[in-house]
A and B are shown apart, each in its own frame.
Chain A
Amino acid sequence: MNPAAGGAGARNIAMQGLWRDNPIFRQVLGICSTLAVTNLVLNTVVMCVALVFTVSLSSATVSALRAYTPRNIRMMVETLIIAFYVIIVDVVLGAYWPSMRANLGPYVGLIITNCIVMGRCEAYGNANPPGGAFLDGFFNSLGYTFILLIVATFREILGMGSFMGMAMPFFSGPGWDRWIIMVMPPGAFFMLGVVVWVFRWIQQSREEPQK
């Protein structure tokens, strides 16, 4: 994707992941496993931390092993590497925070089939050195995290009147009818649709003057 390396390369990778090729509003990848937990900000944070961990490390591992992996079975090898890190997340979560693990249900395991993980391994990890692959995975999942946090913040405040479980002054009061629909599945679709729209619109209106 971008062959540059070194200091300028790292900045470039960060910009690509966070903004220019943002996984959510540019590539629209990997929303499946995370959209479901955006009804509470805390769940989203935990899920996204797990994702950042998995994407950056598995991309780096794929990259480190790329010389030894036969081409024709590389998808399988990548999946196993990803599954390895996801199991670590799952076991750690089960040991130290069982209630959170129960909240997230099957969605932690579903990080394995989250397209963004495989997408980064294939698009970058496969052809670049481990350091760059780690950064690429890290910033891509960070770009993913910040969009989902926006979605989660709106959903929790509008739907539950709270933020990270703490009651918000106006929204939890009697003057505010809670938008229950926001914490139900349709709310997630609407909110993500709006966020994608706004960010694409900003991006497009910035690109136009340059042409």
Chain B
Amino acid sequence: MTVGSEIGQAFIVCIAAIFTQNILLAYFLGLCPFIGVSREIRAAFGLGLAVIFVLTCTTLLNWLAYHYVLVPLGLEFFRFILFIIIIAAFVQFVEMVIERYSPFLYQQLGVFLPLITVNCAILGAALFMVIRDYTFIVTIGYGLGSGIGWFLAIMAMAGIRQKLANDRIPRGLQGPGITLMIAGLMALAFIGFAGVLQGQ
């Protein structure tokens, strides 16, 4: 495959990961923080940004580690441990860097970074990238798209939940119950994008 067609494919994969194959609404990854942190928009925004950044970078790092270390050594089954270590180390590293150089950003994102290590979306994206056999350039599109998709979903949910705060909801349905149902409606809406990418 030429570089040009790969970039084209990366673009398609990116759009698909944002809309039709949204990592949260179609693959249920990163649901726990999605339900826990979507109560207010500010927090959702911070976490969403952190996820975009970490997801894009770690997916690329994991691609390199998988194809240049594990595959030559024949240790593919070891990938779970390697991926999780890379993710944890990267998050720790980023936390230290922004704490040192950008106190403002640290204030905004600091509390969310440790949460990200256990966000299934990050590990999930890395595992999907292996299963689907993406090339390096396509992986860039995939990581970025997945992050943006997650960001969009949590922002939309936070906006809806802030409106819901004053509504009367049956007691058993408050909190997680209603959040899941709204997520269902959002997933339904996102399926509507399926026609956009008929070609792939």
- Complex CA–CA separation, A106 to B176 (angstroms): 25
Contacting pair A186 B185 (CB below 8 A): yes
Interface positions, chain A 85-120, Cβ under 8 Å from B, are 86-87, 90-91, 94, 105-106, 109-110, 112-115, 118
Contacting pair A193 B188 (CB below 8 A): no
Interface size on B, residues (CB 8 A): 44
For residue A144, give the distance in angstroms from its CB to the closest CB of chain B. 13
Q: B131 interface residue, CB < 8 Å from A?
A: yes
Interface positions, chain A 175-211, Cβ under 8 Å from B, are 181, 184-190, 192-194, 196-201, 203-204
Contacting pair A28 B32 (CB below 8 A): yes
Contacting pair B118 A197 (CB below 8 A): no
- The B contact surface, by secondary structure, is helix
A-B contact count (CB 8 A): 130
Across the interface, A106 reaches (CB within 8 A) one of B84, B119, B128, B171, namely B128
- Complex CA–CA separation, A84 to B118 (angstroms): 16
For residue B116, give the distance in angstroms from its CB to the closest CB of chain A. 10
Question: With A113-B84, A197-B177 as given contacts, are A106 and B31 in contact (CB-CB < 8 Å)?
Answer: no
Across the interface, B172 reaches (CB within 8 A) one of A28, A84, A91, A204, namely A204
Q: B183 interface residue, CB < 8 Å from A?
A: yes
Residue of B27, B130, B177 with most partner-chain A CB within 10 A: B177
* A29: nearest chain-B partner, CB-CB: B32
Interface residues of B (CB under 8 A from A): 25-32, 35-36, 77-81, 84, 88, 118-120, 122-124, 127-128, 130-131, 170-173, 175-181, 183-185, 187-188, 191
Q: 12 more A-B contacts (CB under 8 A) besides A28-B32, A36-B29, A192-B180?
A: A91-B77, A94-B77, A105-B127, A113-B123, A115-B32, A115-B118, A186-B187, A190-B181, A194-B181, A196-B173, A200-B173, A201-B172
